[in-house]
């Protein structure tokens, strides 16, 4: 998303991306780049998995808290006079 935003601003154009790609190819070589991208993909997948499990855990804890609050709330039928 940030990359698309930068491209929309015109800061990085097609020539700059091509130059960066050539420099990466020279530095790492043709065999190492797929390994780097595979590792990057695994890292992103693991991050998404951890963040989604964290969201699930947070929503479960919120449900537990709301259940506890509802259990401890006074009944409407048994109003104190």
> What is the tens place of the pLDDT at every residue in 20-40?
888 888 888 888 888 888 998
Backbone angles phi, psi at 33, to 5 degrees: -60, -45
Write the pLDDT tens digit of every residue in 54-74: 666 777 777 777 776 666 656
Q: How far is CA 61 from CA 51, 54, 64, 68, 73, in A?
A: 15, 11, 5, 11, 18
pLDDT-derived band at 42 (thresholds 50, 70, 90) equals very high
């Amino acid at each position: 998303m940030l990359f698309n935003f930068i491209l929309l601003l015109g800061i990085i154009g097609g020539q700059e991306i091509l130059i960066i790609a050539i420099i990466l190819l020279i530095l790492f070589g043709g065999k190492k780049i797929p390994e780097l991208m595979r590792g990057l993909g695994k890292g992103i997948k693991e991050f998404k998995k951890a963040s989604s499990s964290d969201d699930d855990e947070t929503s479960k804890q919120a449900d537990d808290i709301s259940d506890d609050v509802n259990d401890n709330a006074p009944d409407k039928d048994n109003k104190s006079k």
